[in-house]
Chain A
Amino acid sequence: MEDKLSILLVIPCFNEASNIGKLLEEIRGLKEGYDTIVIDDGSCDETYTIASHLSSCIRLITNLGIGGAVQTGIKYAREKNYDLCIQVDGDGQHPPDQTRLLIENYKKSSANLVIGSRFIKEEGFRSTWARRLGINLIGTAIKWLYGTKITDPTSGLRLMDRKAMDIFSKDYHEDFPEPIAVAKALESGLSVQEVPVTMNLRKYGNSSITGRKKLTYMLRVIGYIILMRLGRLMRL
């Protein structure tokens, strides 16, 4: 099974001209020789120009947000018949060598969705306390509703197999894709595994979730997860 796996790294990015080149060079330097697809989510800077010299690149004709960009990558992976796709954010927070850990876990567990978690081992960049609290509460909501403990439901570093790609190519949340995709996977009966990874602090640019948005993000995510569970209970 090991040698036959075809793997695509899906790299969503928006205005990441300062980060994307370095990230793609790092990926090129890995011995795995991954195929990559950069999804430029309608950037206004040089992201597409830089990325298209180093990788296959799809430029979305308008900004769809992280969910729409990742879903485009998943659709591309399905179209090209890849066995696995791994999401690696274009902001440089996900060291590409950590993808190895996801693949190793997949080979051992055959889980449909493998998430790289910052919180299993206490190493590397682990976000601010407010974010960690929010992530913890989202994880607790998932645990209560689905009975599975997920330590880092908001992590964007994740591996999907064909079954997960099939589901997410049809339905992937636009605004809060990572935690809701975890709930969706559990809801659909997929197996979800976590593996400890180390992440970096973003080098350039800022996160889109700041200030009061952190609180509304958390509340809305929990709301959506409850709605999803209710939908199942009501057999909608």
Chain B
Amino acid sequence: MTYQPTLQTTIFILLFLVLYLFLIIRKAVKNDIDLYDLLLLSTVAIVPTIFVFFPKIAVVLAALIGVGYLFFVFFGLLFLIIFIYLYRLVLKSNRNHKMIVLLVQEISLLKERLKDREDI
């Protein structure tokens, strides 16, 4: 099993890496995403780059896992990264939702308390 990326593939992946990293690093600098998000999102570009520049890694991994096609190793890794990211997002979203409910309740109770005090 051998794999040698073409020049076009290498150029395309490099362009993608530079543009994509530029975009997400800019978001991280502006504090729109945190460092953990930056790391996970950057792997979406870094994994294909590693596979292009070090094709032997893909071959070794495929042999190790027992997968016939390198394509499966590549997409499998990307899916894994995305699932980890999604899992983290779901946890974060639920936590935020609970916080919002708590805040709404506390603000509403506080308003009632203030109204009581004004009435006195």
Stretch at the interface among B43-51, B71-79, B101-109: B101-109
Chain B residues closer than 8 Å to A62, beta-carbon distance? 104
A75 CB within 8 Å of chain B: yes
Chain A residues closer than 8 Å to B32, beta-carbon distance? none
Contact B109 A79 (CB under 8 A): yes
Stretch at the interface among A3-11, A53-61, A85-93, A141-149: A53-61
Interface size on B, residues (CB 8 A): 8
Q: Main SS of chain A's interface residues?
A: mixed
Q: Which residue of B lies closest to A71 (CB)?
A: B105
Chain B residues closer than 8 Å to A190, beta-carbon distance? none
Q: How many A-B residue pairs have CB under 8 A?
A: 32
Contact A56 B104 (CB under 8 A): no
CA distance A56 to B113 in the complex (A): 11
Q: Which residue of B lies closest to A74 (CB)?
A: B105
Contact A68 B112 (CB under 8 A): no
- Measured CB to CB, the closest approach of chain B to A55, in angstroms, equals 12
Chain A residues closer than 8 Å to B107, beta-carbon distance? 61
- Measured CB to CB, the closest approach of chain A to B95, in angstroms, equals 14
Contact B112 A60 (CB under 8 A): no
Contact B109 A58 (CB under 8 A): yes
Interface size on A, residues (CB 8 A): 15
B84-119 residues with Cβ-Cβ distance < 8 A to A are 101, 104-105, 107-109, 111-112
Q: Main SS of chain B's interface residues?
A: helix
CA distance A113 to B105 in the complex (A): 23
CA distance A59 to B111 in the complex (A): 9
A174 CB within 8 Å of chain B: yes
Contact A64 B104 (CB under 8 A): yes
CA distance A58 to B106 in the complex (A): 11
A224 CB within 8 Å of chain B: no
A143-171 residues with Cβ-Cβ distance < 8 A to B are none
Contact B101 A56 (CB under 8 A): no
Contact A75 B109 (CB under 8 A): yes
A198 CB within 8 Å of chain B: no
Contact A61 B112 (CB under 8 A): no
A36 CB within 8 Å of chain B: no
Chain A residues closer than 8 Å to B108, beta-carbon distance? 58-61, 72
Contact A68 B105 (CB under 8 A): yes
CA distance A229 to B76 in the complex (A): 34
CA distance A68 to B101 in the complex (A): 7
- Measured CB to CB, the closest approach of chain B to A231, in angstroms, equals 15
CA distance A165 to B111 in the complex (A): 22
Contact A75 B105 (CB under 8 A): yes
A76 CB within 8 Å of chain B: yes
CA distance A58 to B108 in the complex (A): 6
Q: Which residue of A lies closest to B101 (CB)?
A: A68
Residue pairs across A and B with Cβ atoms less than 8 A apart, 7 shown, are A57-B112, A58-B112, A61-B111, A71-B105, A75-B105, A76-B109, A174-B101
Besides the known contacts A61-B108, A71-B105, 18 further A-B residue pairs in the complex with CB atoms under 8 A apart: A57-B112, A58-B108, A58-B109, A58-B111, A58-B112, A59-B111, A60-B104, A60-B108, A61-B104, A61-B111, A62-B104, A64-B101, A68-B104, A72-B105, A72-B108, A72-B109, A75-B105, A174-B101
